Amino acid sequence: MATENKKALVFSILEFLQKSCNDNTISSDDVEGIEVAMQCIGEAFGVDTEDAQQQALYSTKPANLLSIFEVYLKTKTKSKAQSPTPEPVKPVELSEEDKKKAEDFKAAGNRKVAERNYPEAINLYTQAIEINGNQAVYYANRAAAYSQQGEHQKAVDDAKQAITIDPKYSKAYSRMGHALFCQKKYAEAVEAYENGLTLDPENPTLKSSLQTAKSKLDSTAVDRTEGSRSVPSAPEGMPDLSSMLNNPALMGMAQQMMQSGALGDMMNNPEIARMAQQMMGNGGAGGLAEMMRNPEMMNMARQFMGGNGGGNAGGNGGN
């Protein structure tokens, strides 16, 4: 529902349009369309310029909408002419006294770090930052103190702020790399150290830290690869290879076979010797498991276990 203010505005608009139709501001060809539009607008807002009650409430006579708008334009133009051009905001200049206070806080923080009093060091660096927050070294030093007490994410945040202030400050990359390394984010640590070395190629701390991070990253990658490996399972219907190798009775039988010479006879078989050589070439238990999948090998193994070889093993085991 339209408010009274809106109705008053619509009333003035309709009066303006009606006057424009009457004084030929609008061509005769367009008058009919304007009158239809006025009727639609009046019905939409519940406004009727012929209604005496609405005339008393909403009419601005002797002023009209056009004269009111002209006054507004003149006022606006005059206001612009009188408005002074704002001066550019100048950065706040620190006094020498404030700069010295900030440096004193930093120096005191450095002493607390040497004393291993990291909470107090952080407090002192923070006071230095509050006075002069445009010094990268203050953030980098606080990052080091945060790392010393295990707050590595705060150290990363401070190192990033130091880099934002001074992108060429290599020590900030060193602080970031250390904090990331402690969070086991080795790839990010490597990147931070490399960025630092780009700025300071001969820095021994950055070089050593980079090598350590790379080594840790490589070893982590190897661990993940090793963890994903698995020994192939034995063919369906056969005992598991790892269980066989851990079975004392089976290992004892193998030892008896070695003593009796039965295993030697078996290995003189050219086919078995070929498969054993293949196993060694494939490497370890994985190669043996592959060998155990060979139907010929499985048939010979069953014959041996159920024939003379098995009997010899049993006999020797009795002696």
Domain edges within the chain: 4-71, 97-221, 241-318
Indicate if the pLDDT at residue 237 is higher than 50: no
Alpha carbon 55 to chain centroid distance?
A: 66
pLDDT of residue 307: 46
Task: Please confirm whether the linkage preceding 62 is cis (ω < 30° from 0).
Answer: yes
pLDDT of residue 6: 87
The set of residues, in sequence order, having a beta carbon less than 8 Å from that of 296 and lying 6+ positions away, is 271, 275
Which of the four pLDDT bands, split at 50, 70 and 90, describes residue 284?
A: very low
φ, ψ dihedrals at 92, nearest 5°: -70, 125
pLDDT of residue 312: 38
For residues 274 and 283, the answer to whether their CB atoms sit within 8 Å is no
pLDDT of residue 30: 87
Q: Which residue has the higher pLDDT, 78 or 261?
A: 78
Interatomic CA distance for residues 268 and 276, integer angstroms:
11
- Confidence (pTM): 0.45
* Amino acid at position 38, single letter: M
Using alpha carbons only, what angle is made at residue 95 by residues 93 and 99, rounded to the nearest 5 degrees? 105
Interatomic CA distance for residues 17 and 64, integer angstroms:
11
Residue with tokens 């790392």: 147
- Classify domain 4-71 at the CATH class level: mainly alpha
Share of the chain above pLDDT 70, in %: 64
Q: pLDDT tens digits for 154-206?
A: 999 999 999 999 999 999 999 999 999 999 999 999 999 999 999 999 999 99
Which of the four pLDDT bands, split at 50, 70 and 90, describes residue 72?
A: confident
97-221 is classed in which CATH architecture?
Alpha Horseshoe (1.25)
Q: Which residue has the higher pLDDT, 138 or 283?
A: 138
